[in-house]
Structure 1
Amino acid sequence: MGVHRAIVIGGGIGGLAAALALHRQGVPVTVHERAASLEPVGAGLALAPNALRALDRLGVGERLRALATPHPAIGLRHPSGRWLARTDTATFEACFGDTIAAVARADVIAALADALPDGTVRTDSPAALVAPGSTTEPAVVRTPDGERSAALVVAADGIRSATRGLLFPQHPGPRYSGFTTWRTVVSPARRPEAVGEVWGRGRLAGVVPLADGRVYVYGAALAPAGARAADGDEKAELLRRYGTWCAPVPELLALAEPERVLRHDVWELADPLPAYHRGRVALLGDAAHAMCPFQGQGACQAIEDAVVLAAPLTPSTDPAAALPAYTAARLPRATAVVTGSRRIGDLVALHTPAATFLRTAALTLAGLLPARTLLGRSAPTYDWQPPALGVPA
């Protein structure tokens, strides 16, 4: 059957973004997703300015901005309700030239999938790398239809990436961060006025408005890996942990449907990979740089990966020659974001009375600084500019 130009393993946000970026470069691409549908696992998602610029390159940025619910201010509070730091969104947009668009993860998946040609995405189609290829040999991927050769394979197969294990068998793989997380979406009668995060002893909760009156609510807390609610009721576990915190956290959690409360432990690639490619295979998203969620950059960095990977490729370009530049561009940046997310997690993890008192005092003092001074600390992440992409033939 000849050599396919590009095969993407995994139909999550990173895999679909990579497919769309390649498509916009005129590179024929096929996505293999093992699940029976593209229905995502997850609830809400914050698209920061760096990701929105990349999504603009993919042609779906405006669609997703239109789905976001604007809010005049966001901030950080103590469980008592006292504000520690607060920033109005107008100042944020003036600093970075864009907003943070909070949207449902399903809406991001739909926007990317809808922009791809029919037949690009094959669901219920698990794929596995057989051989990474070389400058002279194609990569080989096993699919339900048999083995396929490809000039480029994009492995967006998640934090437990089998592809990563094949490419870098000596790498220790993901490490448990010490945190477990909960996520759900509720539909309150009124939109919450207090938006942002609340930090307590070794745990946090977040409130993010979505479209159509829905609200994304999440929590993260220190817990042993694999621990779950004793009776299997994670909604009750959330109320036990956060039920005495400031409004609107308890009220929103009380609205949650128990079967729609998702709980996942947080694993990260604390040890950077030696490269994000080998042969004709590029690792992307969590397969390359899984991180803690405390900067909200996991999906954002995967979208960045997609645009950077595709930018130098054309239908006549040899992908093997372009992949070293992909590693050179992405590995230092993504590693810095992984490290920054872990450092914020270290602050959230503080749980003794003395440590949390000092943290609260430091955050309160920081909140007194000019907003632009505080926001400037995020500039290395948010000010990133994507390369240009072409238009599919």
Structure 2
Amino acid sequence: MDVEGQRSAVVVGGGVGGLAAAVALHRAGWAVAVYERAPALEPIGAGLILWPNAVRALHALGLGDGLRSRAPALSGSGVRRPDGRWLSRTRGDQVISRYGGPQLAIVRADLTQLLASALPPGCLRLNATVTDVDAGGPDRRAAVHCGDRLIAADLVVAADGVNSRIRRALWPAQPPAEYCGYAAWRAMVRTRAVGTGAASETWGRAERFGVVPVGPDQVYVYATANAPARTPRADELSDLRTRFGRWHDPIPALLAAITPGDLLRHDILAVRPSLRRLHRGRVALLGDAAHAMEPNLGQGAGLAIEDAVVLAHAMAGDSAATAGPARYDRARVGRVTRLARQSRLLGRLTQSPSATVAALRDTAVRLVPDRVALRGFDAAAAWRPPVPPAWERP
């Protein structure tokens, strides 16, 4: 591409979605700058499960080789009761047969590093806080304010998270992200306590515990429980050990292996009601800034990476960079709204304190054949990137 005619994009936010958007646009020929307010790329979270849709999106970004070296495939997954009884189990080969690819497990820091390594030198601007945005228009470029600087661009990608400042500025009538009534705890554990290579999620009453092997001696663990918002206890780890210490193996051993400083706690927030538009002028919302949802489908990072691939595809051929955001909007808003609704429903079932609801839920899951239960993930996992990607076009 002629450098003099190269279009420019500003990405606000250096999380998974922002970095993926920068990679996608860079590979499509854009000059990209990522503005991240943190002084370093310190990922929030511990581990991730990447469903086949997310794996395909990363392959579309040209990151397949790096992904294989960092993310082992899960041999299976399932749902258990606190006494250890399995309610539902799915083998890894069943996932591959239905969706054409595996579920992968990865440390979030490794995914962040993989994305950042695909960016050109000087693209990432750390310790840079964007305070305001001008959405621009058909005859006017967009711009962001960063400190005392005004930075103009043909496209602004708002990937600044669930409490997005850009969303608040351009969608002032949209309510702030809503607390969903429960919190999540996450940690990476060094242990060989899990040796099967399969992930599991155990359902209690208004409590869950997840176990995800990430390599031979690392396990990603997470838990959820109903709790008041923004009221962390003095000793979160002791509280978790009390809550889940009598659940089935290897949960007690995993809790015992957690280092207190490695335990993260987050209130679960969601953008409600869902936005009907994901763009305004030359600004496109992406990832949690656009559609933060409850994490019950394991699709938060995956949908953000999908957003990045679709946005770059939508912007291809848009020399004025004005029609592409609307194309992106049309391609994404229906999908993310449906999945947010599905995730919210699953959250109501899994976080219900009612013994009756829990019993009916467990019975229903146990009675559904495993091959039929897997179909419930079709809406999320069957997605495929636009073909061909913008950066592979002649």
TM over 0.5: yes
Picking from 4, 10, 23, the partner of 2:13 is: 10
Deviation string for 1:173-226 (max 9, x for gaps)? 211111100000111144344631000000100000112510000001111111
**Equivalent residue of 1:377, what SS?**
helix
Aligned to 1:211: 215
**Aligned in 2, Cα 1:358/1:314: closer, same or farther, shift over 3 Å?**
closer
- Point out where structure 1 has 5 or more consecutive residues left out of the alignment: none
The aligned counterpart of 1:35 is: 38
Name the residue aligned to 2:308. Answer: 306
Aligned residues: 387
After TM superposition, the score normalised by the length of structure 1 is 0.95
Quick one: which amino acid aligns to residue 119 of structure 1? Answer: G
Q: Is the 8 A contact 2:83 2:247 kept in 1?
A: yes
Q: Which residue of 2 aligns with 1:378?
A: 377
* Maintained 8 Å contact 2:6/2:31: no
1:227 and 2:231 are equivalent in the alignment = yes
How high is the sequence identity, in percent, across the aligned residues?
A: 43
CA shift for structure 1 position 301: 0.6
Alignment partner, residue 163 of structure 1: 166
Tell me how far apart the structure 1 counterparts of residues 138 and 74 of structure 2 sit (CA, whole Å).
50
Distance 1:32 1:212, change over 3 A: farther
Distance in 2 separating the partners of 1:318 and 1:281? 13
Matched, 1:104 2:104: no
Q: CA deviation at 1:316?
A: 6.5
Which residue identity does 1:383 align to in structure 2? A
Tell me the residue number matched to 1:75. 78
Match of 1:268 in 2: 270
Name the SS for the 1:320 alignment partner.
coil
The answer to whether the 8 A contact 2:314-2:325 is kept is no
Deviation at 1:145, TM superposition (A): 6.1
Alignment of 1:271-350 (within 5 A): 271-314=273-316, 317-350=319-352
Q: Secondary structure at the match of 2:353?
A: coil
Residue 40 of structure 2 contacts residue 126 of structure 2 at CA under 8 Å; is this kept in 1? yes
SS of residue matched to 1:191: coil
Secondary structure of 2:325's match?
helix
The equivalent of 1:148 in structure 2 is 151
Unaligned ranges ≥5, structure 2 = none
Q: Is the 8 A contact 1:279 1:320 kept in 2?
A: yes
Letter in 2 for 1:226: R
Assess if the C-alpha contact under 8 Å between 2:74 and 2:105 holds in 1.
no
Cα RMSD for the two superposed structures = 1.8
Given that 2:177 and 2:270 are in contact with CA atoms closer than 8 Å, whether structure 1 keeps it comes out as yes
**CA–CA separation in structure 2 for the residues paired with 1:300 and 1:189:** 27
**Residues 221, 118 of structure 1: alpha-carbon distance in 2 compared, 3 angstrom cutoff:** same
> Take 1:391 and 1:108, find their aligned partners in 2: how far apart are those partners?
23
Contact persistence 1:4–1:149 (CA under 8 A): no
Q: Which is worse superposed, 127-136 or 257-266?
A: 127-136
1:137 maps to a residue whose letter is R
Which is further off, 344-353 or 51-60? 344-353
Give the TM-score, by structure 2 length: 0.94
Work out the CA distance in 2 between the residues paired with 1:87 and 1:65. Answer: 22
SS in 1 for 2:390: coil
Over 3 Å counting, the alpha-carbon distance change for 1:6 and 1:255 in structure 2 is same
Give the counterpart of 1:127 among 127, 130, 133: 130
Amino acid at match of 1:331: V
Q: Kindly tell me: are residues 199 and 149 of structure 1, through their superposed partners in 2, closer, same or farther at Cα, counting changes over 3 Å?
A: same
Q: Which moved more, 1:99-108 or 1:57-66?
A: 57-66
Change in 2 beyond 3 A, CA 1:149/1:214: same
Amino acid of the structure 2 residue aligned with 1:228: P
Query: Is 1:195 the equivalent of 2:196?
Result: no
1:144-170, Cα deviation, whole Å (9 max, x unpaired): 461111110000000110100111101
Displacement of 1:270 after TM fit?
2.4
Task: Please report how far the alpha carbon of residue 359 of structure 1 lies from its aligned counterpart in structure 2 after TM superposition.
Answer: 1.5
